[in-house]
Amino acid sequence: MSLSQHPRALVTGSSSGIGQAIAQALLDQGWQVAGLDLVPPEWAHAAFSPHQVDLRDPAATARAVQAAGPVQALVHAAGVLRVGRLGSLTQEDSMLMWQLHVDAATRLANLVIPAMTQAGLGRVVLIGSRVSGGMPGRSQYAATKAALVALARSWAAETAAQGVTVNVIAPAATQTAMLTDPARAGATPKLPPLGRLIRPAEIAALACFLLSTDAAAITGQEIQICGGASLAM
């Protein structure tokens, strides 16, 4: 258990994939978790309180955060991927990813980080992507994930002296339902040198560490879980 006797985290995208893995890992460590997701979860836990919400809706998000109550940690794992090359990019795809990845992160941080700074302790983890540096066919997605890094570094600079850390975990292709989304048809993920996809549990393990008291000196960082994909080999 970390941060306090009964720490509480707010985790978005908690009904499936990376968000679910993080929520369940935190619960295993004794955290209480409030989950925000567009769809209801198909799992339950005595210390888990799900809240169904469209994170693109500012008013609904604010109500959900208020209903979740005070938290010592925020994990923004909700995400979506739309692919496309120049000539086929759409405003709809761009707006969807920007609203869910960047605008939602901004609203959530604006709602919960001030209380963390007043308390003198808090943790924020944003789930980014290894493609934030750019990748063919992923320009709009990469732009939103790169924006998360800029937000995290800016917020980390604002809050470091108040005991709040803000970091980004940037995975390579991860074994989640996103890989089978029809919206990414024809965009098969490339396996990293590790020879397999990243597992959600591996991302959850790093997230749990970054939310712990042991990670108090780590802030403003983008940490890749890439299976060797970022190496020159």
Q: Across the chain, what does the average pLDDT equal?
A: 92
Q: What is the mean pLDDT of residues 142-170?
A: 98
Residue 57 has what DSSP assignment? -
Task: Give long-range contacts, CB 8 A cutoff, 24+ apart: 194-199.
Answer: 194/227, 194/228, 195/227, 196/227, 197/172, 197/173, 197/227, 198/171, 198/172, 198/173, 198/174, 198/225, 198/226, 198/227, 199/174, 199/175
Q: What is the pTM of this model?
A: 0.91
Query: What is the 3 state secondary structure string of 66-130?
Result: HHHCCCCEEEECCCCCCCECCCCCCHHHHHHHHHHHHHHHHHHHHHHHHHHHHHCCEEEEEECCH
Residue 231: pLDDT band (50, 70, 90) is confident
pLDDT, one tens digit per residue, over 11-63 is 999 999 999 999 999 999 999 999 999 999 999 999 999 999 999 999 999 99
Query: Pairing state of beta strands 222-225 and 8-12?
Result: unpaired
| Weakest-pLDDT range from 4-13, 51-60, 62-71, 118-127 | 4-13
pLDDT, tens digit (0-9, with 9 covering 90-100), for 73-90:
999 999 999 999 999 999
- What pLDDT is stored for residue 56 in this prediction? 97
Domains in the chain: ranges and CATH: 8-225 (3.40.50.720)
> What does the pLDDT read at residue 135?
92
pLDDT at 182: 60
Pairwise pLDDT comparison (76 vs 5), residue with the higher score = 76
DSSP for 176-232? SGGGG-GGGTT-PPPPPTTSSPBPHHHHHHHHHHHTSGGGTT--S-EEEE-TTTTS-
Residue-wise pLDDT tens digits, 92-106:
999 999 999 999 999
Please list the active-site residues: 141
